[in-house]
């Protein structure tokens, strides 16, 4: 048991005439007009109430009521009771019910106390042993004036995500430490409230996994005067499990009004009762039982107020005739033996692709950056080997090199494109002709990850059902260009062969004197979609404002010396019992606050906190509506707990997150405030730029400024970003990556995101990751986009959280890697974030964009408690993830890992010291 077992209720003695006298006192103590109109409770009910409340009403004992005023009797439906209903009797602080009047009325459980707290928190009214009626949880305040005078006063409904009736989540054992959780309306928890440091966690209940405040533990095990049916004697007051039950929440401080005066109150939910502790009360009335009977009656039979906020949902894609035609048209390629198509811009061919069934591909792209003026980058894929070189005037520039890929290349392989993978809008254009063939035109529109609007038209033959031509309007370097696609050869034998003299590609060379053929940025053209890239300790407060409450008669002393302390701007005396408002310069706020808190003339001093009314916070950023995935991972609810404000731990700064990638555009308006530093480990030419755009996009997913009326929002609005450029459009080098990992670690990064990968293991990266992990850094990596089960690096390395991609229906994306090394899944289709080009906002696909979603959640977790170890972060992420379909929590799935990341559950677990061991 979580508390020492107590003796049974004292057996009833012979009834004497004193009972009549005591009963008269008891009823007289509750002058209520309604009480005279209801039938008196039956003897077994009255016996339970009299035992603890008669000593109070008679003046023998000075303590809180256990039951209080009897104000209503009801006949309520209950399936197992005779006739389908039972009698219930309502008191201020509880309810007693007679479910089966046919058993012996001397039985201790003839009249029982209901699980009212559970019903109000869950909204499930119990109409039988297993018959529940669902309604909205009780929006009735937990303590203080009802209706509340403070909009921040929490309600029973606000405990919905903070209680555990079945041990489904557990807090850590915090016995002996300060009870420092603070709760406000909406379920927001501040985890470092230390105003009353004398109140400790007294005992841990391993059954439900919650700590009991020492002040409540003492109360539940107390002794004092009780009425035994004939006289008042001393004895144990409570059988704790019968009267209170086990704890179902942690103890939480909050602030309410009592008769219009603000009071700090500690409260804790147990299975049957709510206990409150008010330090300002006289000692015998500091611990009281909450008015749960009144609150329940108000909720069930009166007006309980508006329903609590619920998780916002996102719009899921739906099929259209244009999408179905486009999908079927490309599936028709499966009937071909070979295919060639080309892309042109300004009438110049820039890409030519040839497929030869079942296992060969030739890819040729104009690429002056890699291969020099007039050069073309070439790939030949046969089975599991990919050859690469640069061609100038059709002649090889270097020796052919090759790498082996994890799965055999097979074509035709055009499967159904699922709604899960859609990132474009599909519609029909007017019907036209191409040569002698009538065609239907399908229009596809959407943003690419560079932030440009791309509009594509594909002409599909009404005769063969094959695509014939297409054109894409695309912006590049600030100018619109048109890329044309022509499917110009069907069923021809191209005779694709392996090039002679090819040698293995050496990734350790950094690409010197050989073309880069790797899996960092696959160059394969995808006709379906845009390019897929691989890859509270402190609430918000008014700046510079402090609330100060002086002890009686001390305000004048402070006012006389107001002009002397440096940095003080103004002092505004509070009215009545309200605190005074002190305005100071931001740079002296912390020192002033510290000085006030140790001043014997000061009752309390605190920041002028900003409280938030809703349990779900949605930002005002103009493109937020495009970021569907934030709702999928429950980010809005996580933001109701914390948006990235540093809440204490081992450091004094915001959480640092390193983005090891292609760099970051330093002047992007949504990133610049959070960009702490930029470093070029690749060639030193672009320390504050991003030649590719990939790193800028990834950084925005993690830490774009939220709620600032522009662009979209990141997951952690306050995280400080360390940017490391480690490559160009060809890829990233092992040397630059490993140097960046070590430097980021030395600069205090707590999270490192790695949206890149290869099937080649680089020992330098392996060593750098081991170093970072040993320094308490959480490492997150993209699983890869090859639809392969072969482990890629660094995602499959020990101490790395490997993230797979999900689509817009919540199922695995078709391109995502899978297998036993996957840790978590996160959305990876149509992810929208900060773009490189001109401070734009764009959208793209890939596990590259799933990884920073998890990295952002980790940053939020660490902002609540920076003392979390990487192992603890991993443990919480796994335990709070939404399991894969058909799996239980903690069970591994090849495509989901341990499940879909749940930002709210993870942050809540940290804020409430939830323990999963």
Residue 773 CA to residue 853 CA, distance in Å, equals 20
Active site residue 661: yes
Residue 10's closest CA among 236, 173, 164?
236
Sign of CA dihedral 563, 569, 572, 577: negative
Q: 898-901 long-range contacts, Cβ below 8 Å, gap at least 24? A: 898/823, 898/824, 899/824, 899/825, 900/632, 900/633, 900/806, 900/810, 900/824, 900/825, 900/826, 901/633, 901/803, 901/824, 901/825, 901/826, 901/853, 901/854, 901/857, 901/877
**Residue 675: how many CA atoms within 13 Å on its side-chain side?**
23
**Residue 177: how many CB atoms within 10 A of its CB?**
13
What tokens appear for 744 in the block? 């980021």
Q: Residue 530: exposed, middle, or buried by beta-carbon count in 10 A (0-12, 13-18, 19+)? A: buried
* Contact indicator for 134, 123 with CB cutoff of 8 Å: yes
DSSP 339-383: EEEEEEETTEEEEEEEEETTTEEEEEEE-HHHH-TTEEEEEEEET
Residue 180 CA to residue 213 CA, distance in Å, equals 10
Sign of CA dihedral 61, 67, 71, 72: negative
Cβ neighbours for 101, distance < 8 A, ≥ 6 positions apart: 82, 87
Residue position matching structure tokens 């890329």: 483
* Contact indicator for 371, 391 with CB cutoff of 8 Å: yes
* SS3 category, 761: coil
In 681-819, the DSSP E strands lie at 720-725, 727-728, 731-732, 751-754, 778-782, 800-806
Which residue among the candidates 694, 833, 850, 863 is catalytic per the annotation? Answer: 694
Which residue among the candidates 190, 205, 661, 743 is catalytic per the annotation? Answer: 661
Active site residue 694: yes
* Contact indicator for 581, 545 with CB cutoff of 8 Å: yes
Residue position matching structure tokens 């040698």: 503
* SS3 category, 322: helix
How many angstroms separate the Cα of 298 from the Cα of each of 40, 65, 907?
Answer: 21, 20, 33
Cα 323 to chain centroid distance, Å, stands at: 33
Residue 109's closest CA among 41, 46, 39, 48?
48
The torsion region of residue 337 among left (phi > 0), alpha (psi -120 to 50) and beta comes to: alpha
In 104-246, the DSSP E strands lie at 112-113, 124-126, 132-134, 170-171, 182-184, 188-190, 201-205, 210-213, 223-227, 232-236
* Contact indicator for 530, 454 with CB cutoff of 8 Å: yes
Residue 623's closest CA among 841, 453, 837, 828?
841
**Residue 521: how many CB atoms within 10 A of its CB?**
21
Q: Which residues belong to the active site?
A: 661, 694, 848
């Amino acid at each position: 048991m979580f508390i020492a077992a107590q003796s049974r209720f004292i057996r009833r003695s012979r009834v004497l005439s004193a009972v009549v006298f005591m009963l008269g006192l008891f009823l007289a103590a509750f002058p209520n007009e309604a009480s005279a109109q209801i039938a008196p409770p039956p003897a077994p009910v009255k016996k339970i109430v009299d035992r603890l409340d008669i000593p109070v009403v008679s003046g023998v004992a000075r303590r809180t009521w256990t039951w209080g005023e009897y104000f209503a009797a009801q006949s309520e439906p209950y399936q197992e009771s005779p006739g389908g209903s039972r009698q219930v009797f309502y008191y201020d602080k509880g309810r007693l019910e007679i479910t089966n009047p046919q058993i012996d009325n001397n039985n201790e459980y003839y009249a029982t106390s209901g699980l009212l707290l559970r019903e109000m928190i869950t909204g499930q009214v119990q109409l039988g042993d297993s018959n529940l009626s669902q309604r909205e949880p009780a929006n009735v305040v937990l303590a203080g004036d009802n209706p509340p005078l403070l909009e921040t006063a929490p309600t029973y409904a606000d405990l919905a995500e903070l209680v555990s009736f079945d041990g489904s989540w557990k807090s850590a054992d915090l016995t002996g430490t300060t009870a420092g959780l603070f709760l406000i309306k909406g379920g927001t928890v501040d985890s470092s409230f230390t105003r009353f440091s004398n109140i400790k966690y007294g005992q841990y209940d391993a059954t439900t996994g919650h700590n009991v405040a020492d002040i409540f533990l003492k109360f539940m095990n107390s002794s004092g005067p009780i009425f035994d049916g004939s006289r008042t004697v001393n004895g144990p007051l409570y059988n704790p499990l019968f009267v209170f039950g086990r704890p179902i929440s942690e103890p939480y401080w909050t602030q309410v009004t009592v008769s219009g005066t603000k009071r700090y109150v500690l409260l804790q939910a147990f299975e049957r009762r709510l206990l409150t502790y008010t330090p300002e009360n006289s000692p015998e009335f500091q611990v009281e039982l909450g008015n749960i009977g009144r609150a329940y009656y108000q909720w069930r039979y009166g007006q309980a107020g508006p329903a609590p906020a619920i998780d916002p949902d996102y719009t899921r894609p739906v099929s259209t005739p244009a999408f179905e035609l486009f999908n079927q048209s490309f599936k028709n390629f499966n009937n071909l033996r070979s295919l060639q198509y080309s892309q042109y811009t300004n009438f110049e061919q820039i890409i030519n692709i040839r497929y030869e069934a079942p296992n060969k591909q030739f890819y040729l792209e104009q690429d002056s950056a890699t291969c020099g003026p007039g050069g073309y980058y070439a790939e030949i894929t046969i089975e599991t080997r990919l050859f690469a070189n640069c061609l100038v005037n059709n002649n090889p520039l270097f020796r052919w090199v090759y790498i082996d890929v994890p799965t055999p290349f097979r074509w035709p392989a055009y499967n159904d494109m699922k709604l899960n993978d859609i990132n474009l809008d599909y519609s029909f254009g007017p019907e036209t002709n191409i040569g002698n063939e009538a065609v239907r035109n399908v229009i596809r529109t959407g943003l690419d990850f560079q932030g440009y609007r791309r509009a594509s038209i594909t002409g599909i033959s009404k005769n063969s059902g094959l695509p014939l031509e297409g054109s894409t309007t695309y912006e590049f370097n600030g100018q619109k260009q048109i890329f044309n696609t022509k499917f110009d050869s069907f069923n021809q034998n191209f005779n694709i062969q392996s090039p002679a003299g090819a040698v293995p590609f050496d990734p350790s060379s950094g690409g010197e004197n050989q073309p880069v053929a790797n899996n960092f940025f696959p160059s394969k053209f995808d006709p379906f979609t845009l390019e897929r890239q691989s890859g509270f300790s402190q609430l918000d407060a008014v700046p510079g404002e402090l609330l100060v409450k002086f002890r009686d008669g001390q305000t004048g002393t402070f006012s006389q010396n107001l002009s002397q302390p440096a940095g003080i701007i103004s002092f505004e005396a509070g009215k009545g019992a309200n605190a005074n408002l002190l305005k100071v310069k931001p740079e002296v706020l912390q020192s002033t606050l510290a000085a006030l808190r140790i001043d014997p003339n000061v009752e309390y001093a605190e920041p002028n906190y900003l409280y938030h009314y809703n349990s779900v916070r949605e930002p005002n950023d103009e493109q937020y509506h495009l970021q569907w995935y934030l709702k999928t991972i429950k980010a809005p609810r996580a933001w109701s707990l914390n948006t990235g404000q540093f809440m204490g731990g081992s450091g004094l700064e915001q959480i640092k997150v390193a983005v090891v990638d292609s760099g970051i555009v330093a002047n992007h308006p949504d990133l610049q405030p959070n960009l702490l530093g930029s470093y070029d480990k690749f060639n030193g030419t672009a320390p504050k730029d991003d030649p590719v755009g990939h790193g800028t996009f990834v950084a925005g997913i993690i830490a774009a400024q939220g709620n600032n009326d522009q662009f979209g929002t990141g997951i952690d609005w306050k995280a400080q970003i360390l940017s490391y450029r480690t490559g160009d459009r060809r890829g990233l080098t092992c040397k630059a990556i490993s140097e960046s990992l070590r430097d980021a670690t030395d600069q205090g990064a707590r999270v490192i995101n790695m949206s890149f990968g290869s099937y080649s293991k680089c020992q330098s990266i392996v060593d750098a990751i081991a170093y970072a992990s040993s320094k308490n850094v959480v490492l997150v990596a993209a699983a890869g986009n090859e639809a392969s089960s072969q482990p890629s690096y660094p995602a499959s390395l020990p101490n790395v959280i490997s993230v797979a991609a999900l689509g817009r229906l919540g199922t695995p994306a078709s391109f995502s890697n899978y297998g036993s090394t996957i840790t978590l899944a996160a959305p990876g289709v149509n992810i929208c974030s900060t773009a490189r080009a001109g401070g734009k906002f764009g959208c793209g696909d890939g596990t590259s964009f799933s990884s920073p979603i998890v990295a952002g959640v980790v940053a939020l977790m660490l902002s609540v408690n920076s003392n979390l170890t990487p192992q603890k972060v991993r443990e919480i992420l796994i335990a709070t993830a939404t399991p894969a379909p058909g799996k239980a929590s903690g069970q591994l799935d090849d495509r989901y890992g341990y499940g879909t990341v749940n930002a709210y559950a993870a942050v809540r677990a940290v804020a409430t010291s939830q323990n999963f061991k």
